[in-house]
Amino acid sequence: MGYFLTFEGPEGAGKTTQARLLADWLEARGEEVFLTREPGGGLPWLRQALLSPGAPHPLSPEAEYLLFSADRAEHSRRIGEALARGAWVISDRYLDSSLAYQGYGRGLDLDWMLQVARKAAPLKPRLTFLLDLPPEEGLSRAKEKNRFEAMDLAFHARVRQGYLELARKEPGRFVILDASRPVEVIHEEIRRAIMPLCGP
């Protein structure tokens, strides 16, 4: 079996960059890597509908979460297949994003969300790298604003606090990284964190 790793954090924290760097490093070591992302890792056509700032009909938080969950259910199946092959799975966002954004950010009941997730997201990451960044800094980095990036600062502050609360509850899974530092420094810290999982 392989290892399932996720990258989480607010907008502009550098998740995609760090996921790609780690995938490249593992592939250079001869490992099979399945690099993926949410939304769209399961049902690619849902990504634009969920992120586009020009969506014609605003979604309720409940509908939003259930659409993310539909994508995640199919995504989890694909992740499971890759793990069964012995691949390293690296996902740019997973369930923790929904808990932070739709739960803490949008006010959905976390117990209900977790009930849905028991079926839609049965796989749990071995490690989750939380790239932490003040929302003001993260939003200033965004080049093209998606629907979530366009939301107000108070929303993004709640999302950040949600992530930190999730990490506090599971210190054995989360690795909190200061995302304000240089890309190379963060990448090196991530490599050190996964070395115990790597073979000789």
Structure tokens at 104: 């803490």
105 is in an annotated binding site: no
128 is in an annotated binding site: no
15 is in an annotated binding site: yes
Residue 66 backbone zone (phi > 0: left; psi -120 to 50: alpha; other: beta): alpha
12 is in an annotated binding site: yes
How long is the chain? 200
- The whole-angstrom separation of Cα 192 and Cα 156 is 29
16 is in an annotated binding site: yes
9 is in an annotated binding site: yes
Handedness of CA 109, 69, 79, 99 (dihedral sign): negative
84 is in an annotated binding site: no
Contacts (Cβ under 8 Å, ≥6 apart) of 196: none
Half-sphere exposure for 147 (CA within 13 Å, toward CB)? 18
11 is in an annotated binding site: yes
Binding-site residue ranges for ATP: 9-16
Binding site residue list? 9-16
